[in-house]
Structure 1
């Protein structure tokens, strides 16, 4: 890693290991750097294992002065590492006054003299209270009987032992043990004071985050490093914590599996790490070149970040397609598995200003920049086979799943259902949302067409699919086939055809 904007003390100590930087923050290795170029410090880490001696060796070294191929390492002195203002966010138990607790560090850093005096006063008071307890006649009489001269305890000391020689102190009476015994109890409601753990994991996580934030704010020029930020927190608190940490530090390096944590950062600051088929890669989004691309970047916050931990995204044409496919996917039952079980997240090419097949290649390009595998899901509109629409999608995506010829999502929903079943579903759904039942007075051959027209113009794909499922007892076969094909070709190990054209299960030969 390369550290820039170093404190003066670090530059002084690391003189000889500093290197000139380019405008992008990388080290200038050309040998022609300007004398006024800013300086940075590169550090590297290597761990090696010797099987013969069963030993592990860790090295933090200067790559500019070292030659790993020749086993030559110039290590970074501990004095320099101590000067780097790095704050690690450890998910430790909050509100701990014991020596290793973060609260203890904050209290001691704020006023070490007053903190020491407070702890010593606590020790004196506890010893005095314990002495009073031990001197209680009901306890002292029993203790005297236990250590009576006629009993086996007569020889445990150099002189006869009495009840006055016995005290009851937490953890033997040491200050560290005493502070370990002091655990936080909170009063958050009318239930009164309860142990911290009794308030639930979210309260514990929030207080841990608050301690970490206070530590970061009190460390000048801090570099904050945190792992799995947001685990145990609700969404808004996660975003607030990440945003506060970002503002409190010179640099903030956080890992998270939560979209809420990532939202606190600019798109250009995201680095998404992936491991596909054993290969580890890092991905960053290219800044938008024009207004059109800037509008496309709305997909990042709205759809791609929520898919943060998915392996692949399946891009549908529009919101109606997404609604219908998502509804069917949620209703799959064992032994069938939903797309989430395959690491796939369903999204749409519509960013709010219209979707369609023309947008899919652009969304795919953006998703690829973040390291997702991309599968397109399109309908069977014949117009798309005339030009380069499908070939453009194929070129931009890892795979393409296409509904049968002339079949849009509305017709796909209705496959496998009889006219009677469609009538029942229509009578249940459309009037509920203030629409007339379009099947009334229509002949059976016309029922599917009139239902499709209403769905296309008014939506209600999810609601109609749910009602139809109650009547048929099974999901539409072509929708199931589309989901199955998407699950198959979304896997990084998939090596089949790039384009899958689904067959119409209702077609006759």
Structure 2
């Protein structure tokens, strides 16, 4: 059943549409969509945009913002005690146009957040979110106004960081360090040019190794026996491997399967992937500005 507040919000939008349709109207809407569901917010925002000669709309709803072109959006922020307005620049080439898809996929839903952390791997966000949700006595990153964003490799991290900076976010880059001899330091330096700060995993670590490193042998065997049974990972003879080879084998299985969050939830409550937790906590600290970087974690 629709609430009275939703009825009132729809009626207010309908009244604005009626007036706007008369021509020459300048319409100003504050906190648009707060009482609307996602579909109604997007639909009515689009109708207003197309009906008015001029429309000024403030909203905390990413669904309403979808009705506007990227260059029509202005994000307001308060950084270092100063109010600022940020407006996107139209894409200059196909590469910028391609990364612009992240605006609707990830950045618009983060619009009301203060800071974002752009991680290099596709599964970093799923794994770190699972860790933050299963921990007790520690607020989730969203409680601090921090949103996690995923990418596909260090090159896309750079592009998304640039895009997010245009919108006035405090931007942190979270990088792997699994291939130290293949341009990792260049990527680390480049990220510092486009992000407010950077955190990187220890040398020879990607998110998968950070999740399994230091986990007791029996806990790894139990978790991956369960994953193998339910997801048919093709893992055999894990109990025959020494500890080092076991960690490498299951990390590779995680990378291939994408079952990062499922693995985290299978760990018993007292067993913690400490390297991944350090990565998570340092990223949030940098996003909040309670510490400074750049930081490369160490064991």
Q: Does TM, normalized by the shorter one, top 0.5?
A: yes
Alignment correspondent of 1:118? none
Match of residue 296 from structure 1: 99
Find the counterpart in structure 2 of residue 460 from structure 1. 259
Q: Please, which of 40, 61, 64 is the counterpart of residue 261 of structure 1?
A: 64
CA contact (8 A) 1:380 1:404 kept: yes
Distance of aligned partners of 1:502 and 1:220 in 2 relative to their CA distance in 1, 3 Å threshold: same
- In structure 2, what is the Cα distance between the partners aligned to 1:229 and 1:439? 58
2:125 aligned to which of 322, 342, 346: 322
- Partner of 1:453: helix, strand, or coil? helix
- Structure 2 partner of 1:234: 37
Cα deviations by residue, 1:197-218 (Å, 9 ceiling, x for unpaired): x84533343333333323332x
Q: 1:390 aligns with which of 180, 185, 188?
A: 188
- Corresponding residue pairs, total: 297
Larger helix percent: 2
Structure 2 residue matching 1:274: 3-state secondary structure? strand
Aligned to 1:481: 278
Partner of 1:339: 141
User: Residue deviations 1:165-202, cap 9 Å, x none?
Assistant: xxxxxxxxxxxxxxxxxxxxxxx8xxxxxxxxx84533
Structure 2 unmatched runs, 5+: none
Hey, what does 1:206 align to over in structure 2? 10
Give the structure-2-normalised TM-score. 0.93
Deviations 1:371-407 (A, max 9, x none): 0111111112213566522111112111111111111
Alignment-derived partner of residue 359 in structure 1: 156
Given that 1:377 and 1:401 are in contact with CA atoms closer than 8 Å, whether structure 2 keeps it comes out as: yes
* 2:226 paired residue among 428, 443, 457: 428
Decide which of 437, 448, 451 is 2:247's aligned counterpart: 448
CA distance in 1, matches of 2:157, 2:252: 24
Q: Deviations over 1:329-369 (max 9, x none)?
A: 222321x12111221110012xxxxx211222221111110
Give me the whole-angstrom Cα distance separating, in 2, the residues matched to 1:497 and 1:228: 34
CA contact (8 A) 2:121 2:207 kept: no
| 1:443 Cα offset (Å) | 2.6
User: Distance between the aligned counterparts of 1:280 and 1:465, measured in 2?
Assistant: 40
Do the aligned partners of 2:215 and 2:271 also contact (CA within 8 Å) in 1?
no
Residue of structure 2 in register with 1:275 after alignment: 78
Name the larger-Rg structure: 1
**Structure 1 residue 404 corresponds to structure 2 residue 206:** no
CA RMSD of aligned residues (A): 1.9
Cα distance in 2 for residues equivalent to 1:386 and 1:213: 54
After superposition, the C-alpha distances for 1:303-332 in whole angstroms (9 at most, x for unaligned) are 111100111110001211222122222223
Alpha-carbon shift at residue 283 of structure 1 (Å) = 0.4
For structure 1, the residue ranges without an aligned partner over 5 or more in a row are: 1-187, 189-197, 350-354, 505-509
- Take 1:344 and 1:244, find their aligned partners in 2: how far apart are those partners? 32
Conserved? CA contact 2:118–2:150, under 8 Å = yes
Q: Does 1:500 align with 2:295?
A: yes
Equivalent position to 1:287, from 90, 96, 105: 90
SS at match of 1:388: helix
Asked whether the 8 Å contact 1:417–1:472 carries over to 2, the reply is no
**Structure with the larger RCO, 1 or 2 (CA within 8 Å, 6+ apart):** 2
Report the Cα distance in structure 1 between the residues aligned to 2:14 and 2:168, rounded to whole angstroms: 33
